[in-house]
């Protein structure tokens, strides 16, 4: 994870090992998910990225099953405000 990144990440994707996993909000239902920027695997709960298999794959939102045209990736402040700060610091609990 890059501390000063405009799009903070949780680390390398456990599925493809190539991409970075970012937390993003679905523009259709407003729920947060974790999305790999390479293989496009999606986890409905960002805290489970490194402990479970993906729930979906782009473009389907795992929450509303809508076809997401473009994810809204959270800034560091937005993610901290949404309660994901511990994940950005590398803690999964």
- In this structure, what is the dihedral angle of CA atoms 87, 52, 66, 90, given to the nearest 10 degrees? 10
The band of 1, judged by pLDDT with boundaries at 50, 70 and 90, is very low
Query: Which one-letter DSSP state was computed for residue 74?
Result: P
φ, ψ of residue 78 to 5 degrees: the values are -60, -40
Q: What are residue 42's DSSP bridge partners? A: 35, 56
Instruction: Tell me the sheet residues that pair with 12.
Output: 20
Q: What is the mean pLDDT of residues 64-92?
A: 90
pLDDT higher than 80, residue 55: yes
Question: Model's pTM, two decimal places?
Answer: 0.89
């Amino acid at each position: 994870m890059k501390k000063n990144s405009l799009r903070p990440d949780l680390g390398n994707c456990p599925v493809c090992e190539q991409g970075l996993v970012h937390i993003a909000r679905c523009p259709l239902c407003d729920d947060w998910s974790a999305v790999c920027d390479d293989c496009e695997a999606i986890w409905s709960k960002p805290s489970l990225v490194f402990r479970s298999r993906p729930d979906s794959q782009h473009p389907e939102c795992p929450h509303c099953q809508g076809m997401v045209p473009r994810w809204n990736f959270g800034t560091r402040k937005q993610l901290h405000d949404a309660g994901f700060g511990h994940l950005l610091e590398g803690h999964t609990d």
